[in-house]
Amino acid sequence: MFKEFRTFIMRGNVIDLAIGIIIGAAFGRIITSLVNDIVMPPIGLLLGGVDFSNLYLNLSDTTYTSLAEAQEAGAATINYGLFFNAVLEFLIIALVIFLVIRQFNRLKREKEETPEPETTKECPYCMTTIPIKAVRCPNCISDLEVAAAAD
């Protein structure tokens, strides 16, 4: 059973998946930093100095000056600013994935559209497939140069 498990783990697909998850997690942290530290501050500034990560709806009777203070006190809150940040992160990640897949498909399509040079031709006498450089058909032994000159 251990040998079978080791064979399963050492397959390329499992290793590729593990690497993809690790890179994806690191990419997610980069996008989180991009949204929270670079994108949201200018948007908040344009909207009058709003800090989206501190926007919340307090469901308790007590007043709190910040989300951190409300959370520390254990108050029930709806954190719509954090939700807005998460939605923006998702949209940026989705856009990046879309652009990567689009480029991958374009490269794949270009590779498929490139015609391979022909390596065979058809004998005009016996209609069998023969190498393109052949001057005599190996099947019917016809002289192909004579046929080409007659055309």
pLDDT in tens, 37-64: 888 888 888 888 887 888 899 998 899 9
Q: Which fold has domain 2-114?
A: 1.10.1200
**Which pair of tokens denotes residue 86?**
């998460």
CATH 1.10.1200.120-classified regions of the chain: 2-114
Rg of the Cα atoms in the chain: 33
pLDDT at 148 over 70: no
| pTM (2 d.p.) | 0.56
Q: What average pLDDT does this structure show over 4-8?
A: 79
- Helix (H) or strand (E) segment spanning residue 77: strand 77-78
CA distance 72 to 26: 29
Q: How confident is the model at residue 147 (pLDDT cuts 50, 70, 90)?
A: low
